[in-house]
Amino acid sequence: MSIGFDEDLRNTRASAIASAIDAGGDEYDSGHLLIYSGDRPDTGDHIDEYDNELLVEFVFPFPCGTVSAGVLTFDTIADATSVAAGTATWARITDADDVFVMDLSVTDTGGSGDVKVATTGAVITDNTIISCTVATITEGNS
């Protein structure tokens, strides 16, 4: 059986994530969701540009979202243009100052990744408009 958290605790945990993403941000600059190809580094480690290629960078709105019932629901994230072609394998969230917040797995929509890319095999092509249609982080037993 999985851990079951009190709703106030789930909200506190989700709010801490939102605060970390919003750190250093304002209406002109805010946190980022960066999607990469290659092997995911150890959590929070330096990104080796020879092993990992940035495919697309989304900018979160400020503030990034709202928390309710243990779920951080991101406000509308603007479309982004891909900067390279490759297979998306992992993602990193940073704050406005590019300080590490979290690393995530990426798969296509049929996979079990934290981030799901709606393309076959999670392949992203260069100079393509990419949309983020739904973005949430769910805490514990929410």
Could you list the pLDDT tens digit for every one of the 142 residues in the chain?
A: 578 889 999 999 999 999 999 999 999 999 999 999 999 999 999 999 889 999 999 999 999 999 999 999 999 999 999 999 999 999 999 999 999 999 999 998 888 889 988 887 888 999 999 988 889 999 888 6
- Domain assignment present for residue 107? The answer is yes
Contact status, residue 50 vs residue 68, Cβ threshold 8 Å: no
- Domain assignment present for residue 39? The answer is yes
Write down the pTM of the prediction.
Answer: 0.92
**Residue range of the domain that includes 48:** 7-138
Q: What count of Cα atoms within 13 Å lies in the side-chain half-sphere of residue 2?
A: 6
Count of structural domains within the chain? 1
- Domain assignment present for residue 24? The answer is yes
- Domain assignment present for residue 1? The answer is no
- Domain assignment present for residue 124? The answer is yes
- Domain assignment present for residue 49? The answer is yes
Rounded distance, CA 21 to CA 89, Å? 21
- Domain assignment present for residue 45? The answer is yes
Give the H/E segment covering residue 68: strand 65-68
